[in-house]
Amino acid sequence: MSKAKIDGARRPALLLSVPSGLLGVALAWALILPGPLPAEAVVRVVADGVGATTLGLAALPRLAPRLQTPWRMLAVLAGVWAIAEFAVLVFEAAEVIGVPVADLGAEQFGTYLVDVSGGQIGIAILVGVVAVAGGSALAFRRPESASGDLVLVFAAVTLALRPITGHMSQQAFGSVLAAVHALAAAAWLGLLIALALVVRTRGEWAVALPRYSAAAPPMVATLAVSGMLNGLIRVGGIVPFVTTGYGRILLAKTVLLLGLLTLGWWWRRSWVQRAADHRMGAEASLRRAIVEVILMALAFGLAATLAVTA
């Protein structure tokens, strides 16, 4: 079996990020017991993960210009993202109205969309995702008129819409911090998934991976600082980090982030330099990327639950 076929066989392992994200939701639920599981978190982690992947694929040529935007893949993922965002909107409506999702009526859902700000934001998000899907499909059919930057802007704005209007919007600069935090997290995860999906050869990894490694520290620093400020503002002290469900999830997320930072430090020594020197094959680089994506997805599960926890 050729190297390309081996890599292609391993790429479905990226789907393990889905149960990893759900495991993060389950862990967060354990930390807020005896409180109920925020059902919205289950669909939200999928929406956040697919949205991050879409952003990463759209931004990939800016990271490594020799890599082409996979327009067909981008269009399909944007379609999945739209379905996931619609599911999030349904769960949000049921939560606001105070009924189980199965009992949510069409009239109630319509009222939520028209009269409640969360519903209006949800419509704007869906419009943004559909624009990304449509633009990607058009670019696939007519690559000569493709505008990667336009799709990237739509994806970034769409990802920022929900955190801008979340619970942090009631605090000074809360909306800005939440949006910056969400975009930094999405770029960090999304670009690595994009590399795992698109990069095929040792030479491509040698060029793209060092550039990702150089871009990751500013993204992680932005993520850590904005998350710390968000957390301190929201929790309001040190003691609530262990006495409240929200604080415990935030603490677990911080511990996991520190673990990812440690792994990133080790990867820079044992992976990035070897890949840059063409001393590591594409299969080995792909395997390491998948491991890190799965761990990042666990953090996304915690974050998704955190976003819907009072």
Task: State residue 30's pLDDT score.
Answer: 93
In whole angstroms, give the CA distance from residue 28 to residue 25: 5
Report CA 15 to chain centroid distance, whole Å.
14
Task: State residue 277's pLDDT score.
Answer: 92
In whole angstroms, give the CA distance from residue 90 to residue 94: 6
pLDDT band at 239 (very low <50, low <70, confident <90, very high): confident
pLDDT band at 37 (very low <50, low <70, confident <90, very high): confident
In whole angstroms, give the CA distance from residue 237 to residue 198: 44
In whole angstroms, give the CA distance from residue 132 to residue 278: 35
Task: State residue 159's pLDDT score.
Answer: 94
Cβ pair 139, 151 in contact under 8 A: yes
Backbone phi and psi for residue 192, each to the nearest 5 degrees, phi listed first: -70, -40
Cβ pair 245, 31 in contact under 8 A: yes
- pLDDT above 90: residue 216: yes
Per-residue pLDDT, averaged over 32-45, amounts to: 87
Count of positions (residues) in the chain: 310
In whole angstroms, give the CA distance from residue 157 to residue 138: 20
Q: What are the extents of the domains in the chain?
A: 3-303
The runs of H, that is alpha helices, within 142-239 are 148-164, 174-198, 202-235
Task: State residue 168's pLDDT score.
Answer: 57
In the chain, DSSP assigns E strands to: none
- pLDDT above 50: residue 6: no
Per-residue pLDDT, averaged over 245-269, amounts to: 91
Pick the CATH number of 3-303 from 3.30.470, 1.20.1630, 1.10.1060, 2.60.120: 1.20.1630
Structure tokens at 222: 């932005």
Worst-scoring range by mean pLDDT, 10-19, 125-134, 268-277?
10-19
Per-residue pLDDT, averaged over 196-202, amounts to: 93
The type of residue at 20 is: S
Per-residue pLDDT, averaged over 184-204, amounts to: 94
- pLDDT above 70: residue 195: yes
Task: State residue 142's pLDDT score.
Answer: 83
| Residue 146 or residue 281, greater confidence | 281
Report CA 121 to chain centroid distance, whole Å.
19
Cβ pair 198, 70 in contact under 8 A: yes
- pLDDT above 50: residue 306: yes
Backbone phi and psi for residue 159, each to the nearest 5 degrees, phi listed first: -65, -30
Instruction: Compute the mean pLDDT over every residue in the chain, rounded to the nearest whole number.
Output: 89
Backbone phi and psi for residue 309, each to the nearest 5 degrees, phi listed first: -95, 130
